[in-house]
Amino acid sequence: LNQVSWIPGVSRPGCVHLKQPSLRTFSGVRAKTVASFDSCDGALKDGTGVVLPATKEFAVQAIQSIKSGKVIAVPTDTLYGFACDACSREAVNKIYEIKGRKLTSPLAICVGDVSEINRFAFTNHLPDTLLDALLPGPVTLVLRRGEASILEKSLNPGIDSIGVRVPDSDFIRIIARGSGSALALTSANLTGHRSSVCIKDFESLWGHCAYVYDGGELPMGRAGSTIVDLTNPGKYKIKDLAVQEKKLLKS
C-alpha cells in the first residue's frame, strides 16, 4: 500500500483507511481502481472506485450498481454528482455518509425523461408545454411530492417537495431509465467543499463508489443548476439563477 488518506465524514474513530490503486480491464478498456481497505479489520469496503468512461457502452455496470443499492459518481450537464436508487433507504443513507451531509439537507432526484416526473411529483397544475420547455437542461424543478410517489420515505423526511432533474446528458439519463426508478442525486464532494467539475476534484472519495465515470472536465463551471420552485399553481420562483436565465424568464 503506497498511500494513506483520511476520508472525512465516513471514517470510524481509531481506523485508518488505505487506498491501493490497481488496473482492471472492462471490454478492452484499462480502468483505474482505487480499492478502500479498513485497517481495523482488513476488509474491502463497499465500492471499488473503478474509473470508467462515461459512455453508453459502460452504462450497464452503472445500472447494475444502482439496482444493487450502491453509489456511483457520474457527470451531469453541470457538475459531477453522486447517484443512487432514490427508492433505497440504504443507498440514500450511503450518500449522506460519503458526503458527511446532515440528514436534514435534502437531495434532488434525476429521471430519464420528462414523462417520468409525474411518478414522483405533482405536475397536474403545470401547463403541458412548461416542463418540455425547461427540460432536459441544467435546471432543478421543485415540485410537490405526490402522495403516491414511490420514493423512499427516508428521502428528505418532513419535506413535502422534491427537486427534480432531467439533465441534458445522455449518459446519466440512460442510467436513470435502465434503473427503472429515480436516482437520488447530489454533488460529488464533501459537504462544505467546492463542487467537482472533473473526477480529480473528488479523488479521495472514489473508493466509496462502485464506479466513477469520467466525462472529462465539465464546461459549465461550478455554479450548478438553476433552481425553479413550481410548487404553487400559477406562480414560479427562481431560487438560484445559475444558468439559462434568458430561457427561464421567457418561459
Q: What is the pTM of this model?
A: 0.79
Beta bridge partners of 49: none
- The DSSP code for 232 is S
Which residues 6+ apart lie within 8 Å of 135 measured at CB? Answer: 114, 141, 165, 166
**pLDDT for residue 40:** 37
Query: How far is the C-alpha of 1 from the C-alpha of 245, rounded, in Å?
Result: 49
Are 115 and 128 in contact, with CB atoms under 8 Å apart? no
Residue found under cell 480491464: 25
- Per domain, the residue ranges of the chain are 17-250
Which residues 6+ apart lie within 8 Å of 66 measured at CB? Answer: 72, 83, 84, 85, 91, 175, 178, 179, 181, 183
**pLDDT for residue 44:** 33
Residue found under cell 423512499: 152
**Which residues of the chain fall below pLDDT 50?**
1-22, 30, 34-47, 243-251
Query: How far is the C-alpha of 103 from the C-alpha of 189, rounded, in Å?
Result: 16
Fold entry, domain 17-250: DHBP synthase (3.90.870)
**pLDDT for residue 3:** 34
**pLDDT for residue 29:** 53
